Amino acid sequence: MSRLLALVRRYPLVAATVLVGVLGLSLGIFDHADAVRWLFSAFGIAAALVSSVGMVRQLFRGSFGVDLLAIIAIVATILVGEYVATLLIVLMLSGGAALEDYAAGRAARELDALLKRAPQIAHRLDPDSGEAADVPATEVRVGDLLLVRPSEIVPVDGQLQSDTAAFDESSLTGESLPVERSVGDPVLSGSINGQIAATLMATATAANSQYQHIIALVEEASSSKAPVVRLADRYAVPFTVGALTLAGLAWALSNDPVRFAEVLVVATPCPLLLAAPVAFMGGMSRAARNGIIVKGAGVLEALSRAKTVVFDKTGTLTYGTPSISEVRPEAGFSADELLTLAASAEQYSSHVLAASVIGAARERGLVLHTADSASEAATFGVEARFGPGTVRVGKLSFINDGAADATATHLAGGELAMYVAVDGRFAGSIVASDRVRDNSRQSVADLARLGVRENLMLTGDGRATAQHVARQVGIVHVRADCLPRDKVEAVRALTRRPVIMVGDGVNDAPVLAVADVGIAMGAKGATAASESADVVILLDDISRTVRAVRIGQDTVRVALQSIWLGIFLSVALMVVAAFGLIPATAGAISQEAVDLITILNALRATGGRQDAVGAPRESVGGAAAPLETSEGAGRPVLPSVDRPV
Lowest mean pLDDT among 160-164, 353-357, 482-486: 482-486
pLDDT classification of 269: cutoffs 50, 70, 90 = low
Give the number of residues written for the chain. 645
Q: Three-state SS across 217-274?
A: HHHHHCCCCCHHHHHHHHHHHHHHHHHHHHHHHHHHHHCCHHHHHHHHHCCCCHHHHH
Residue 167 identity (one-letter amino acid): F
Q: Are strands 308-312 and 454-458 parallel, antiparallel or unpaired?
A: parallel
Q: What is the rounded average pLDDT of the residues 174-187?
A: 77
Cα distances (Å, whole numbers) of residue 579 to 250, 252, 449, 637: 7, 12, 48, 76
The pLDDT value recorded for residue 453 is 92
Cα separation, 468 vs 290, in Å, equals 31
The pLDDT value recorded for residue 367 is 92
The pLDDT value recorded for residue 31 is 82
The pLDDT value recorded for residue 335 is 94
Q: What is the rounded average pLDDT of the residues 537-547?
A: 89
**Other beta carbons less than 10 A from residue 126's beta carbon:** 10
pLDDT digits (tens, 9 = 90+) for 118-127: 778 899 998 8
The pLDDT value recorded for residue 530 is 65
The pLDDT value recorded for residue 224 is 54
Cα separation, 594 vs 578, in Å, equals 18
Cα distances (Å, whole numbers) of residue 359 to 186, 342, 344, 364: 17, 11, 11, 9
Cα separation, 603 vs 250, in Å, equals 35
Which stretches of 327-370 are DSSP H helices? 335-346, 354-363
Q: Percent of the chain having pLDDT more than 70?
A: 78
The pLDDT value recorded for residue 632 is 31
Indicate if the pLDDT at residue 631 is higher than 50: no
Cα separation, 165 vs 193, in Å, equals 8
Region label for 399, one of left (φ > 0), alpha (ψ between -120 and 50) or beta (otherwise): alpha
The answer to whether the beta carbons of residues 228 and 559 sit under 8 Å apart is yes
Indicate if the pLDDT at residue 307 is higher than 90: yes
Cα separation, 93 vs 270, in Å, equals 8
Peptide linkage before 498 cis (omega within 30 of 0): yes
pLDDT classification of 625: cutoffs 50, 70, 90 = very low
Cα separation, 589 vs 600, in Å, equals 17
pLDDT digits (tens, 9 = 90+) for 147-174: 999 989 999 999 999 988 888 876 665 4
The pLDDT value recorded for residue 449 is 95
Indicate if the pLDDT at residue 552 is higher than 90: yes
Q: What is the rounded average pLDDT of the residues 421-443?
A: 91
What angle, 0 to 180 degrees and rounded to 10, lies between the N-to-C axes of helices 270-289 and 109-116?
A: 50
Indicate if the pLDDT at residue 254 is higher than 70: yes
The pLDDT value recorded for residue 502 is 93
Indicate if the pLDDT at residue 400 is higher than 70: yes
Which stretches of 61-193 are DSSP H helices? 68-79, 83-107, 109-116, 170-173
Lowest mean pLDDT among 276-280, 307-311, 348-352: 348-352
Q: Active site residue: 67, 144, 168, 312, which one?
A: 312
The pLDDT value recorded for residue 146 is 95
* Contacts of 251-258 spanning 24+ positions with Cβ under 8 A: 254/580, 256/580, 257/76, 257/79, 257/80, 258/80, 258/82, 258/580, 258/584
Per the annotation, the verdict on 67 as an active-site residue is no
pTM of the shown model: 0.64
The answer to whether the beta carbons of residues 545 and 517 sit under 8 Å apart is no
The pLDDT value recorded for residue 548 is 95
Question: From the centroid of its chain, how far is CA 307?
Answer: 20
Query: Facing residues of 329 across strands?
Result: 428
Cα separation, 571 vs 125, in Å, equals 67
pLDDT classification of 639: cutoffs 50, 70, 90 = very low
The pLDDT value recorded for residue 634 is 30
Mean pLDDT in the chain?
79
pLDDT digits (tens, 9 = 90+) for 187-233: 988 888 987 899 999 999 988 887 777 666 656 655 554 565 555 66
Cα separation, 514 vs 420, in Å, equals 45
pLDDT classification of 629: cutoffs 50, 70, 90 = very low
The answer to whether the beta carbons of residues 567 and 235 sit under 8 Å apart is yes
What angle, 0 to 180 degrees and rounded to 10, lies between the N-to-C axes of helices 227-254 and 68-79?
A: 20
The pLDDT value recorded for residue 392 is 94
Indicate if the pLDDT at residue 545 is higher than 70: yes
